[in-house]
Amino acid sequence: MEASEFLYGNFGQRVLEVGAGSGQHVTFVDPDSWVEYIQTDLRPPESTAELLGTWIATPVNADTLPFADQSFDRLISTCVLAHTDEPEETLREWRRVVRTGGVITLYLPCESSLLLNFARLLGPRQARIKAGFDSRIIYLDHRYNYRYLRTLVELEFAENQIQTKRFPRPFPWWLSWWEIVQIKI
Protein backbone atom coordinates (compact mmCIF):
# COMPACT_ATOMS: atom_id res chain seq x y z
CA MET A 1 0.00 0.00 0.00
CA GLU A 2 0.95 3.61 -0.39
CA ALA A 3 2.76 5.65 2.23
CA SER A 4 2.78 9.45 2.23
CA GLU A 5 2.07 12.12 4.83
CA PHE A 6 -0.19 13.76 2.22
CA LEU A 7 -2.38 10.65 2.23
CA TYR A 8 -2.27 9.77 5.92
CA GLY A 9 -5.69 9.76 7.55
CA ASN A 10 -7.59 10.43 4.33
CA PHE A 11 -10.76 8.34 4.36
CA GLY A 12 -14.00 8.52 2.41
CA GLN A 13 -12.38 10.12 -0.60
CA ARG A 14 -13.65 10.50 -4.12
CA VAL A 15 -10.76 9.34 -6.33
CA LEU A 16 -10.27 9.72 -10.08
CA GLU A 17 -7.75 7.60 -11.95
CA VAL A 18 -6.88 9.00 -15.37
CA GLY A 19 -5.53 6.46 -17.86
CA ALA A 20 -6.51 3.48 -15.73
CA GLY A 21 -5.63 0.95 -18.44
CA SER A 22 -7.11 -2.39 -17.45
CA GLY A 23 -7.86 -1.38 -13.86
CA GLN A 24 -4.78 -2.93 -12.26
CA HIS A 25 -3.73 0.12 -10.22
CA VAL A 26 -6.75 0.31 -7.90
CA THR A 27 -5.44 -2.69 -5.93
CA PHE A 28 -2.46 -0.59 -4.77
CA VAL A 29 -4.67 2.13 -3.27
CA ASP A 30 -5.83 1.66 0.32
CA PRO A 31 -9.45 0.43 -0.03
CA ASP A 32 -10.37 2.17 3.22
CA SER A 33 -9.31 5.55 1.81
CA TRP A 34 -12.01 5.86 -0.84
CA VAL A 35 -15.78 5.62 -1.10
CA GLU A 36 -15.82 6.24 -4.84
CA TYR A 37 -13.05 5.28 -7.27
CA ILE A 38 -13.71 6.41 -10.82
CA GLN A 39 -11.52 5.10 -13.65
CA THR A 40 -11.11 6.52 -17.14
CA ASP A 41 -9.06 5.67 -20.21
CA LEU A 42 -8.95 6.42 -23.92
CA ARG A 43 -9.63 2.70 -24.44
CA PRO A 44 -11.81 1.47 -21.54
CA PRO A 45 -11.91 -2.31 -21.02
CA GLU A 46 -14.72 -4.08 -22.87
CA SER A 47 -15.90 -5.74 -19.68
CA THR A 48 -15.64 -4.09 -16.28
CA ALA A 49 -17.92 -6.50 -14.41
CA GLU A 50 -15.14 -8.06 -12.34
CA LEU A 51 -13.08 -4.88 -11.88
CA LEU A 52 -13.00 -2.71 -8.76
CA GLY A 53 -14.26 0.85 -8.79
CA THR A 54 -16.53 2.58 -11.27
CA TRP A 55 -15.60 2.82 -14.93
CA ILE A 56 -16.55 5.58 -17.33
CA ALA A 57 -17.53 3.43 -20.32
CA THR A 58 -16.80 6.02 -23.00
CA PRO A 59 -13.29 7.13 -23.98
CA VAL A 60 -11.99 10.00 -21.82
CA ASN A 61 -9.06 12.15 -22.88
CA ALA A 62 -6.69 13.09 -20.04
CA ASP A 63 -6.62 16.77 -20.98
CA THR A 64 -10.39 17.31 -21.30
CA LEU A 65 -12.04 15.64 -18.32
CA PRO A 66 -15.86 15.59 -18.21
CA PHE A 67 -16.06 16.51 -14.51
CA ALA A 68 -16.91 19.66 -12.58
CA ASP A 69 -14.28 21.86 -10.96
CA GLN A 70 -12.95 20.54 -7.63
CA SER A 71 -15.02 17.37 -7.81
CA PHE A 72 -12.35 14.92 -6.55
CA ASP A 73 -10.27 14.55 -3.42
CA ARG A 74 -7.51 12.76 -5.31
CA LEU A 75 -6.37 12.18 -8.87
CA ILE A 76 -4.04 9.30 -9.79
CA SER A 77 -2.19 9.01 -13.07
CA THR A 78 0.26 6.21 -13.86
CA CYS A 79 2.65 6.93 -16.75
CA VAL A 80 0.03 8.95 -18.65
CA LEU A 81 1.63 12.40 -18.81
CA ALA A 82 4.41 11.20 -21.18
CA HIS A 83 1.72 10.26 -23.73
CA THR A 84 -0.31 13.48 -23.77
CA ASP A 85 -0.21 16.06 -26.57
CA GLU A 86 0.07 19.08 -24.26
CA PRO A 87 1.32 17.98 -20.81
CA GLU A 88 1.20 21.50 -19.34
CA GLU A 89 -2.49 21.82 -20.31
CA THR A 90 -3.14 18.33 -18.95
CA LEU A 91 -1.63 19.28 -15.58
CA ARG A 92 -3.87 22.38 -15.44
CA GLU A 93 -6.91 20.23 -16.23
CA TRP A 94 -6.00 17.80 -13.46
CA ARG A 95 -5.58 20.66 -11.00
CA ARG A 96 -9.03 21.94 -12.01
CA VAL A 97 -10.86 18.75 -11.00
CA VAL A 98 -9.04 18.27 -7.65
CA ARG A 99 -10.42 20.19 -4.69
CA THR A 100 -8.29 22.47 -2.54
CA GLY A 101 -6.55 20.25 0.01
CA GLY A 102 -6.66 17.27 -2.36
CA VAL A 103 -3.73 15.31 -3.76
CA ILE A 104 -2.52 14.55 -7.26
CA THR A 105 -0.40 11.39 -7.51
CA LEU A 106 1.72 10.99 -10.63
CA TYR A 107 3.84 8.00 -11.55
CA LEU A 108 6.48 9.28 -13.95
CA PRO A 109 8.67 6.84 -15.88
CA CYS A 110 12.33 7.86 -15.60
CA GLU A 111 12.76 8.00 -19.35
CA SER A 112 15.58 7.57 -20.52
CA SER A 113 17.41 6.21 -17.46
CA LEU A 114 20.03 3.53 -17.86
CA LEU A 115 18.24 1.13 -15.51
CA LEU A 116 14.86 1.53 -17.22
CA ASN A 117 16.39 1.01 -20.66
CA PHE A 118 18.26 -2.07 -19.44
CA ALA A 119 15.13 -3.53 -17.80
CA ARG A 120 13.10 -3.00 -20.99
CA LEU A 121 15.83 -4.60 -23.07
CA LEU A 122 15.81 -7.76 -20.94
CA GLY A 123 12.19 -8.01 -19.89
CA PRO A 124 9.13 -6.90 -21.82
CA ARG A 125 11.03 -6.50 -25.10
CA GLN A 126 10.94 -10.22 -25.83
CA ALA A 127 7.25 -10.48 -24.99
CA ARG A 128 6.46 -7.53 -27.28
CA ILE A 129 8.43 -9.09 -30.14
CA LYS A 130 6.58 -12.42 -29.70
CA ALA A 131 3.28 -10.51 -29.74
CA GLY A 132 4.24 -8.88 -33.03
CA PHE A 133 5.14 -5.40 -31.76
CA ASP A 134 8.22 -3.48 -32.78
CA SER A 135 10.38 -3.36 -29.64
CA ARG A 136 11.17 0.32 -30.27
CA ILE A 137 7.53 1.39 -29.93
CA ILE A 138 7.87 2.36 -26.25
CA TYR A 139 10.36 5.07 -27.20
CA LEU A 140 8.08 6.41 -29.92
CA ASP A 141 5.00 6.37 -27.69
CA HIS A 142 6.57 8.42 -24.88
CA ARG A 143 6.56 11.95 -26.26
CA TYR A 144 8.32 13.58 -23.31
CA ASN A 145 11.17 12.45 -21.09
CA TYR A 146 11.29 12.46 -17.30
CA ARG A 147 13.34 15.64 -16.92
CA TYR A 148 10.95 17.66 -19.08
CA LEU A 149 7.84 16.35 -17.29
CA ARG A 150 9.39 16.84 -13.86
CA THR A 151 10.23 20.46 -14.75
CA LEU A 152 6.64 21.05 -15.92
CA VAL A 153 5.30 19.66 -12.64
CA GLU A 154 7.61 21.91 -10.62
CA LEU A 155 6.60 24.98 -12.64
CA GLU A 156 2.85 24.27 -12.68
CA PHE A 157 2.73 23.47 -8.95
CA ALA A 158 5.43 25.85 -7.71
CA GLU A 159 3.17 27.13 -4.93
CA ASN A 160 2.06 23.67 -3.81
CA GLN A 161 3.77 21.10 -1.61
CA ILE A 162 5.46 18.39 -3.66
CA GLN A 163 6.87 15.09 -2.38
CA THR A 164 8.77 12.59 -4.50
CA LYS A 165 9.90 9.01 -4.12
CA ARG A 166 12.00 7.14 -6.68
CA PHE A 167 12.32 3.44 -7.25
CA PRO A 168 14.87 2.13 -6.51
CA ARG A 169 15.09 4.71 -3.72
CA PRO A 170 18.76 5.58 -3.36
CA PHE A 171 19.40 6.01 -7.09
CA PRO A 172 19.41 9.28 -9.05
CA TRP A 173 16.75 9.61 -11.76
CA TRP A 174 19.09 8.39 -14.51
CA LEU A 175 19.46 5.05 -12.68
CA SER A 176 15.81 4.69 -11.61
CA TRP A 177 12.71 3.07 -13.10
CA TRP A 178 10.10 5.57 -12.03
CA GLU A 179 9.29 8.38 -9.64
CA ILE A 180 6.11 8.91 -7.66
CA VAL A 181 5.20 12.57 -7.33
CA GLN A 182 2.57 13.63 -4.75
CA ILE A 183 1.21 17.17 -5.05
CA LYS A 184 -0.92 18.70 -2.31
CA ILE A 185 -3.32 21.20 -3.89
pLDDT in tens, 70-106: 999 999 999 899 889 999 999 999 999 999 999 999 9
Check residue 75 and give its pLDDT.
97
Beta strands in 24-87 (DSSP E): 34-40, 54-55, 72-78
Q: How far is residue 140's CA from residue 105's CA, in Å, rounded to a whole number?
A: 24
**How buried is residue 83: exposed, middle or buried, by Cβ count under 10 Å (0-12/13-18/19+)?**
middle
Category of 79 on φ-ψ map: left (φ > 0), alpha (ψ -120 to 50) or beta:
left
Q: Sort strands 178-184 and 98-109 into parallel, antiparallel or unpaired.
A: antiparallel
The pTM for the full model equals 0.82
Check residue 1 and give its pLDDT.
45
Check residue 182 and give its pLDDT.
95
DSSP alpha helix (H) spans, 48-113: 87-97
- State phi, psi for 155 to the nearest 5 degrees: -70, -45
Identify the helix (H) or strand (E) that includes residue 128.
helix 124-130
Tell me the sheet residues that pair with 39: 17, 55
